[in-house]
Amino acid sequence: MTTTLSGHAIGHAFDGLTVLQGVEFSVESGQTLGVVGPSGCGKSTLLELVCGLQQLQTGGIEVGGRTDSASRLESCAYMPQTDCLLPWFSAIDNAGLALRNQGRTRSEAREQASRLFEQFGLGGFEHARPKELSGGMRQRVAFLRTLLSGKEVLLLDEPFAALDAITRAELQEWLVPVLAEEGRTVVLVTHDVEEALYMGDRVAVMSPRPGRITEVVESPRESGQKRNHAVTTPAFTSLRERIMDLLTSRDPVSM
């Protein structure tokens, strides 16, 4: 089951400080939208607005045809910047949190989660505590937890920001086919242009605060392409340079 997601004229302010202004975007069902922008441009706020964790001040957001924040919270799963694994639960119980919250028994949740553990390269670590896992494994458990919610829309907030460059590249390469197979609608927020271009089907570029989407580009990545090849094609590198120019340009777009 997939869904379409769109935002229209979204504005948001904290204590009189405008964070977002006139944000417009849309994601086709089953597609991944990468969102890049400078620090403090309101990327994380945008995600929290989309999934209904914060009340919308102006504009509208539609998820699968529904606009109120309660139904958005129902259909969106949010993966915060930090992995947020609960240290008192084992890896598998962390992964199955959404199932437990929905009233499934512990053994039911474990059974369902364990089927994906092997596939996610976590086999044998079901009962490890989060602190016993490497950074990359923790992130995979956190992603598995998000996926097992069964929600149609996944909102990923800089999921790999805390990882070293090698692990990050490995996980990016691992996640692209997983997302393609799952067919979920994904918004991936990142400050890493390469990550957004490689992971996303399209990439939205945000301006500095007050954040708005200044440009949306198609990713030049072809399906099934290895990361090493994908990020070195001339189309990819020139697009990356153009987005970098957009992000570093000193004159913010005035409204």
Partner 1 sequence: MKTVGRWLPPLLLIVALFGLWQIAASSGFMAERLNLDDFLVPSPAQIFEVMWQDRDLIAENARVTLVEIVAGFMVAVVTGLVAAALLHLSPLLRRTSYPVIVASQTIPIIVIAPVLVVWFGYGIGPKLAIIALICFFPIAVNTLDGLRSVDRDSVKMMRTLYASRWQIFRRVEIPTALPYAFSGAKIAVAVAVIGAVFGEWAGSEKGLGHLMLQDNAQLMTDRLFAAVFVLSAIAISLFALIGLLERRVLRWR
Taking CB under 8 A as the criterion, the residue among 53, 161, 162, 216 binding partner 1 is: 53
Distance between CA atoms of residues 8 and 25, nearest Å: 7
Side by side, the strands of the sheet bearing 17-27 are 17-27, 5-14, 58-63
The piece of 94-102, 193-201, 209-217, 235-243 that touches partner 1 (CB under 8 A) is: 94-102
Of 135, 127, 134, the C-alpha closest to 162 is 135
Query: In whole angstroms, what is the distance from residue 40 CA to residue 61 CA?
Result: 21
Please state the closest distance from residue 77 (CB atom) to partner 1, in A.
5
CB of 107 to partner 1, least distance (A): 17
Cis peptide before 210 (omega within 30 of 0): yes
Whole-angstrom Cα distance, residue 161 to residue 80?
A: 11
Q: With beta carbons less than 8 A apart as the criterion, state whether 185 and 3 touch.
A: yes
CB neighbour burial string for 117-130, b if at least 16 within 10 angstroms, e if fewer:
beebebeebbeeeb
Least distance to partner 1 from the beta carbon of 210, Å?
23
Q: 106 vs 229, which CB is nearer to partner 1?
A: 106
Name which position in 79, 109, 188, 196 contacts partner 1 (CB under 8 A). Answer: 79
User: Binding marks (x or -) toward partner 1, 99..118, rule CB under 8 A?
Assistant: -xxx----------------
From residue 26, give the alpha-carbon distance in Å to each of 65, 160, 224.
12, 23, 24
Is 145 a binder of partner 1 (CB under 8 A)?
Answer: yes
> Applying CB under 8 A, does 131 fall inside the site for partner 1?
yes
Site map for partner 1, 11-50, x if CB under 8 A?
-------------------------------------x--
Residues that bind partner 1 (CB under 8 A): 48, 51, 53, 73, 76-82, 84, 86-89, 97-98, 100-102, 129, 131, 145-146, 149, 151, 155
